[in-house]
Amino acid sequence: MINKRKVLKNKALLLGVTGGVAAYKSVELVRRLIDGGASVSVIMTEAAQKFVTPLSLEIASLNTVHTDLYSHPMAHITLPAHADFMVIAPATANLIGKFAHGLADDLLSTCLLAFRGKVLIAPSMNWRMYTNPVVQENLASLLSRGVVQVGPEEGRLACGEEGPGRMSEVPDIVAAVESALAKKDLANERILVTAGPTREYIDHVRFISNRSSGKMGYAVARAALRRGADVTLISGSTSLHRPQGVNFIPVETAEDMLRKVREEIPSSTVLVMAAAVADFMPGEKSPGKIAKKYGLLLNLVRTPDILMEISREKRRPFLVGFAAETGEKVGNAKKKLKEKKLDLIVFNDVTEPGAGFDVDTNKVILIDSKEQKKLPLLSKDEVADAILDRITEIKA
């Protein structure tokens, strides 16, 4: 399976699971972290075992689950000593309070005190508990000592009430772990990414679009975010999870996208145009719904060429384009690089197995004025990092 991400690869993570209703999500969290290439050892509190069984986490982590401070005399020292990073998800109000005050009365709280690396906590509790000043003070104290916090979200809580306290979704916790572990080599960049398909309306209810899932652009946005960039994501309609921490701008048509790109360009240092902008749009949009009794002849006209428009601007950012072709038409990509005065173009043959639409992998060639770099079949996350690596090399 090709979905190892650079930052998680070969990292030893220690995951603490505490006794909250969101504990069941830790099974999925372990799976995602392992998919990313990390090894995960789990410590469960006594209360956590009321919500999810050690066996479930043992199966997910392919590792022994630790629950008892006294079953192994040195576990509270050796487990943290062999870990690169600690994650507590869910983190109960109780665990947060104990950690903030240096209490060590079970295996997890003792390991937290013995650990010398970075710790990330994902609080999860009823909103009344979360907004209690003592919980807020404990969190502030942990953050002031370098602990990283992800979430909680506002929303419907397990008790049926609404409010802040829902544990962050698993992809957001994984992204926060990756971000905490990643090098911050893009901290001075403001990266504008476009992603997904555009919709070109025929009438009020029908549109022309394409097969783009948006996965490549979203992967670039996530990678840039974890490497410290300020990220704006202009996205056509997709079913993807919106990355937490990006400035997200939803759009529908190519014209909408051009307008938003123009607005964002003055404050961007890099534009990565990963969106699959429709090449054609109906010459005119019918106001209502066209009746189906007649045949329909469509007059299609060209949509605005966003990269071309931006490349003509005086103050233009570093420009990265994509060339999705059917077949090994690298020449077309090189032509596009020159014509649109791009700094980098990412070529991919969408007919290749594992490359192109709606898959999690891609096989690309990175082409700039100096070199052509053919990459093997990689996860889209890895391709995203390779694109960002090349941008930093060219800009250096």
Ligand X SMILES: Cc1cc2nc3c(=O)[nH]c(=O)nc-3n(C[C@H](O)[C@H](O)[C@H](O)COP(=O)(O)O)c2cc1C
Q: Select the residue interacting with ligand X from 7, 19, 99, 257 (CB under 6 A).
A: 19
And the tokens for 165?
């306290």
Which tokens in the block code for residue 188? 């001075």
Two tokens, residue 25: 């999500």
**Is there binding between residue 364 and ligand X (CB under 6 A)?**
no
Rounded Cα gap, residues 243 and 234, in angstroms: 12
What is the distance, to the nearest Å, from the Cα of residue 49 to the centroid of all Cα atoms in its chain? 30
Tokens 């069941």 correspond to 24
111 is catalytic: no
**Residue of this chain nearest to ligand X (CB atom):** 20
* Interacting residues with ligand X between 82 and 141 (CB under 6 A): 92-95, 124-125, 129
42 binds ligand X (CB under 6 A): no
From CA 210, how far away is CA 33, in angstroms rounded? 32
d(Cα 345, Cα 332) in Å, to the nearest integer?
11
Q: Under the criterion CB under 6 A, does residue 16 sit at the interface with ligand X?
A: no
End-to-end CA distance of the chain: 34
| Least separation in angstroms between CB 243 and ligand X | 25
Distance CA(396)–CA(394), nearest Å, equals: 6
Here's the x/- map for ligand X, 281-320, by CB under 6 A: it reads as: ----------------------------------------
Selected binder of ligand X within 2, 12, 47, 350 (CB under 6 A): 47
Please, are residues 241 and 290 in contact by the beta-carbon 8 Å criterion?
Answer: no
Contact code string over 249-268 relative to ligand X, x by CB under 6 A? --------------------
Is 20 a residue that touches ligand X (CB under 6 A)?
Answer: yes
Written as six digits, the tokens of 68 are 């008892």
Pick the catalytic residue: 77, 81, 114, 159? Answer: 159
User: Between residues 99 and 347, which has the closer beta carbon with respect to ligand X?
Assistant: 99
Binding footprint of ligand X, residue count (CB under 6 A): 14
Q: Which residue has the tokens 């990565």?
A: 272
Q: What's the closest the beta carbon of residue 102 comes to ligand X, in angstroms?
A: 15
Q: Where are the alpha helices (DSSP H) in 157-288?
A: 170-181, 215-226, 254-264
Q: Does 18 bind ligand X (CB under 6 A)?
A: yes
Residues forming the active site: 159
Q: Which residues bind ligand X (CB under 6 A)?
A: 18-21, 45, 47-48, 92-95, 124-125, 129
